[in-house]
Amino acid sequence: MRTADLIAGPAAGFTVCLVFHPFDTLKTRVQSPEFRKLAAQSTHPRKMWLRGLYQGIGPVTLAMVPGSAVFFTSYETSKRFLLTSAPQIPEPITHVFSSSLAEVLGCVVATPAEVIKQNAQVLRETKGSSSLAALKLIGRKPKDLWRGFTLLASRNLPFVVIQFPLYERLKVAFGVRERGNRLMETAKVTGTAAGLSGGVAAWLTTPADVVKTIVMLGVSKSGGERLRAVDVAKKLWREEGVRGLWRGGALRGIWTGAGSGLYLGVYECALLAMGEK
């Protein structure tokens, strides 16, 4: 375990949270059937869509610090272990295994914040903290904060399985030249590689993201009836077809690609600045 991973990971995650949270809010609202209906009935729909774009940022920012530290520490540790102790394993398989392990551990930390964040993002009016208001709607059962863990992991695992082998391959393909400003060169290469791989992975995993969003938003409904992912997916397919399952896919692909570029770019540059590269 490197101390650098505990510093660089949270720094990268915090930066991305602040810059790209509004895009995540818009994506959540696009994917929420109830929010779209309310916006359509509003006398000022544009104002409703654009109001409170930073709602829910509190819990996700707090969770991003330990979550990023857990992810990058697990990923780098398991990757180095496999590359040195089992060099016969193809590198793409090593990257798949390492990123999957890291993502599962990260999801344990991230799920409660994700549930609170997404419910806060679709609140119409709040007095005070939108995150506290969302938490009151969710209820007093602690297990409800982990409702959607399976869906979050089911969305994120395919995402990292697609992204990280592609990211590591693109880094090698683009290469970092030793001459000139190596920090700037690293930022360009890692940012481009992460942006391309993240955008592709985000668009391909949009159906899982749409279903996850609807299930997590259902946590705050009165009565506490649990939405089943399979039922949500079937209903979307029946009512809206492919369009429903890929709702918000273009927005998610663009902002996730840009966010991945910044996230991994900041991470790699932070490691380089601390002498770990």
Sketch out the chain's domains with CATH numbers.
Answer: 3-273 (1.50.40.10)
Report how far apart the first and last C-alpha atoms of the chain are (Å, whole number). 15
Residue 223 confidence (pLDDT):
47
Burial bucket for residue 68 (CB in 10 Å: 0-12, 13-18, 19+):
buried
Q: Is the dihedral of CA 109, 111, 116, 117 positive or negative?
A: positive
**Structure confidence by residue, pLDDT tens digits, 218-228:** 765 544 456 78
Q: Which residues make Cβ contacts (< 8 Å) with residue 126, sequence separation at least 6? A: 52, 55, 120, 133
What phi and psi values does residue 52 have, to the nearest 5 degrees?
A: 60, 45
85-109 mean pLDDT: 91
Q: Please tell me the least confidently modeled range out of 21-30, 135-144, 230-239.
A: 135-144
Measured distance CA(229)–CA(31) in Å, rounded:
14
Residue 124 confidence (pLDDT):
67
Residue 1 confidence (pLDDT):
59
183-207 mean pLDDT: 92
- pLDDT tier, 140 (very low <50, low <70, confident <90, very high otherwise): low
16-28 mean pLDDT: 90
Residue showing tokens 């409904």? 221
In Å, what is the CA distance from 161 to each residue of 9, 97, 106, 142, 264?
19, 8, 14, 30, 16
- pLDDT tier, 179 (very low <50, low <70, confident <90, very high otherwise): very low
Residue 221 confidence (pLDDT):
58
- pLDDT tier, 9 (very low <50, low <70, confident <90, very high otherwise): confident
Residue 67 confidence (pLDDT):
85
